[in-house]
Amino acid sequence: MATIPYKIYLTEEEMPRAWYNLRADMKNKPAPLLNPGTHQPMKAEELAPVFCEELIRQELDNDTPYFEIPEEVFNFYKMYRPSPLVRAYCLEEALKTPAKIYYKFEGNNTSGSHKLNSAIAQAYYAKKQGLKGVTTETGAGQWGTALSMACAYLGLDCKVFMVKVSYEQKPFRREVMRTYGASVTPSPSMTTEVGRKILAAHPGTTGSLGCAISEAVEAAVTSDGYRYVLGSVLNQVLLHQSVIGLETEAALKKYDIHPDIIIGCAGGGSNLGGLISPFMRDKIKGIADYRIVAVEPASCPSFTRGKYAYDFCDTGMVCPLAKMYTLGSGFIPAPNHAGGLRYHGMSSILSQLYDDGLLEAVAVPQTSVFEAAERFARVEGILPAPESSHAIKVAIDEAEKCRETGEAKTIVFGLTGTGYFDMVAYEKYHDGKMDDYIPTDEELEASFSQLPRI
């Protein structure tokens, strides 16, 4: 057997030419989106004012296993893909573990995360439909940046509603988006009806993803030639992100590597859903068995403390209802929560897999995440995004367990991005000003009591 290089790359010829739709192989399909008025499954024509046609088709398709990656999208992928699968030799040595650790690194593009994989696909279908532009929300800013890049490439207009607290704390993210030609509005704003309503009800609020989504949807449906696009949670986004998992699978196969544990951070679930898709397929089909672990922040614990229920995807309750593990659409994580992954809900696909016992989840406190991030940065060189560092934390924990037991397990985790724009959070950690606020049961119960009754 050849020794395994530090970085396993695929050639352009080996890159996947189709996205994989895990729903086609799921025995229990994810629950359908419901119309918030009638509580009936959303039909394509009801979604059409909000979303692009081809993306609706992908969203509603539970049966087609493969969707060919359009040539234009594939060409864009070639500018920054394939992403490397890295053998973390240095981390293994630092941990003195017999475990073999690999990470799939998605941070090698200007947007700094995996989000570009879906941004270019969504922008492409919008362009193909002849639209003028798209609207969206962004929290920490990675999705807005990715979408701005994709829109600039295709000559589409891009309107981003950025959660106000990030808009103020991350001016450089905002400027990257503007460099790529996007307009960026802090949310909640006075430019939409729902924004004005939220501001009237919660004066001085620094916003949330849920609010920004409501504003972006309103901006799309009230502007001619615009549709709304979303960077996570939706089935279509997991479909596009399957490129991460398919590349990982191909890279592992090249060296006959068989993972035991696959770990990813979970915000809305898109990178995790993409990373695990071919492995989950084999697990469902009984071809292979893996432990598949979702890692979430203890301050926003959708899987581990949420309810599996129909809920709104946004605060303004304008979006369809999705069945998912949720903390309630009114849940806003504590303001000291620095580590991203702050969405109240979770992908319907992952929610169903979790409910079926095919996926594990753990919640980790944020100081432990930054501790892991720093350990990783010092030996592997890459400065990880706080979101990604949730996966690092659990990968390290698993590798340390192997040190105790002497087992040489193979661990694969998703390193979704870089953390250059998160230095305020790192600073808080270094100065000892970061704490581990965890919501109380009472707070969660109060939020659950607002869940729609379906």
- Point out which residues bind ligand PLP (CB under 6 A): 113, 115, 142, 232, 265-272, 341, 385, 387-388, 416-417
Rounded distance between C-alpha atoms, residue 185 and residue 223, angstroms = 16
Q: Least distance (Å) from ligand PLP to the CB of residue 143?
A: 6
Q: Least distance (Å) from ligand PLP to the CB of residue 297?
A: 11
Identify the helix (H) or strand (E) that includes residue 177.
Answer: helix 171-179
Q: Least distance (Å) from ligand PLP to the CB of residue 232?
A: 3
User: 24: which DSSP letter?
Assistant: G
Rounded distance between C-alpha atoms, residue 322 and residue 307, angstroms = 12
- State which residue, 192 or 418, has the beta carbon closest to ligand PLP: 418
Dihedral pair phi/psi, residue 193, rounded to 5°: -65, -45
- State which residue, 131 or 415, has the beta carbon closest to ligand PLP: 415
User: 314: which DSSP letter?
Assistant: S
Count Cβ atoms within 10 A of the Cβ of residue 442 and give its class: 0-12 exposed, 13-18 middle, 19 or more buried: exposed
Q: Least distance (Å) from ligand PLP to the CB of residue 115?
A: 6
Contacts of 283 (CB under 8 A, 6+ apart): 289, 290, 292, 358
- State which residue, 349 or 402, has the beta carbon closest to ligand PLP: 349
- State which residue, 112 or 195, has the beta carbon closest to ligand PLP: 112
- State which residue, 227 or 390, has the beta carbon closest to ligand PLP: 390
Q: Least distance (Å) from ligand PLP to the CB of residue 402?
A: 25
Q: Least distance (Å) from ligand PLP to the CB of residue 179?
A: 18
Q: Least distance (Å) from ligand PLP to the CB of residue 202?
A: 24
Strand order of the sheet with strand 410-415? Answer: 7-8, 85-87, 100-105, 410-415, 261-265, 291-297, 360-364
Q: Least distance (Å) from ligand PLP to the CB of residue 165?
A: 16
Rounded distance between C-alpha atoms, residue 318 and residue 46, angstroms = 13
Dihedral pair phi/psi, residue 138, rounded to 5°: -145, 145
- State which residue, 133 or 386, has the beta carbon closest to ligand PLP: 386
- State which residue, 115 or 227, has the beta carbon closest to ligand PLP: 115
Residue 188, amino acid: P
CB 112 within 8 A of CB 420: yes
- State which residue, 192 or 270, has the beta carbon closest to ligand PLP: 270
Nearest to residue 235, comparing CAs of 322, 160, 312? 322
Residue 35, amino acid: N
Residue 258, amino acid: H
